[in-house]
């Protein structure tokens, strides 16, 4: 899935994944962001982002954004952003959870280091799209 244009909401993202030529598996990383200068305008805040938990799901396994938030909160409530990527299958088969594991590990590493975080679709808890830039 390309991130050339800002995705407006989670339903739009789900629809895009379902319309791909090969089945997709969504990679979801829940992260906690902390601002180091909270008095600055939201557009110019700087801070750290730490991975909290991650999961992979088929788009069909997610009924809505609110259901996803509720499911995540039942495990751990200390997150405020969801980083999302998709992994494309081949020959009509969606990737397995085993296929997704190395990519989830890469996402966690990217978030910890701030490297390449602009490649992910990011939403806050209220389903607002977030644009994150790294200083690296």
pLDDT at 35: 79
Residue 58 confidence (pLDDT) above 70? yes
Question: How confident is the model over 1-20, as a mean pLDDT?
Answer: 80
Q: Name the more confident of 36 and 61.
A: 61
3-state secondary structure of 4: coil
- Prediction pTM value: 0.87
pLDDT surpasses 60 at 4: no
Mean pLDDT over each residue of the chain, to the nearest integer: 89
Provide the pLDDT for residue 1: 44
pLDDT of residue 44: 64
Residue 94, exposed/middle/buried by CB under 10 A (0-12, 13-18, 19+)?
Answer: middle
Q: Indicate whether 135 pLDDT > 50.
A: yes
- Domain locations in the chain as residue ranges: 24-124
Q: List phi, psi (to 5°) of 132.
A: -115, 130
The Cβ-side half-sphere exposure at 63, using a 13 Å CA radius, reads 5
């Amino acid at each position: 899935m390309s991130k050339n244009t800002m995705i407006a909401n989670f339903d739009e993202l789900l629809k895009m994944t379902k319309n791909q030529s090969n089945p997709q598996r969504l990679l979801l990383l829940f992260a906690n962001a902390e601002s180091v200068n909270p008095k600055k305008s939201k557009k110019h805040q700087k801070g750290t982002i730490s991975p909290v938990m991650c999961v992979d799901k088929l788009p069909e396994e997610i009924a809505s954004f609110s259901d996803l938030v509720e499911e995540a909160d039942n495990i751990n409530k200390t997150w405020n952003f969801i980083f999302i990527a998709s992994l494309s299958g081949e020959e009509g088969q969606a990737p397995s959870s085993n296929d997704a594991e190395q990519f989830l590990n890469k996402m966690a590493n990217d978030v910890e280091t701030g490297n390449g975080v602009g490649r992910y679709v990011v939403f806050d808890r209220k389903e607002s799209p977030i644009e994150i830039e790294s200083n690296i």
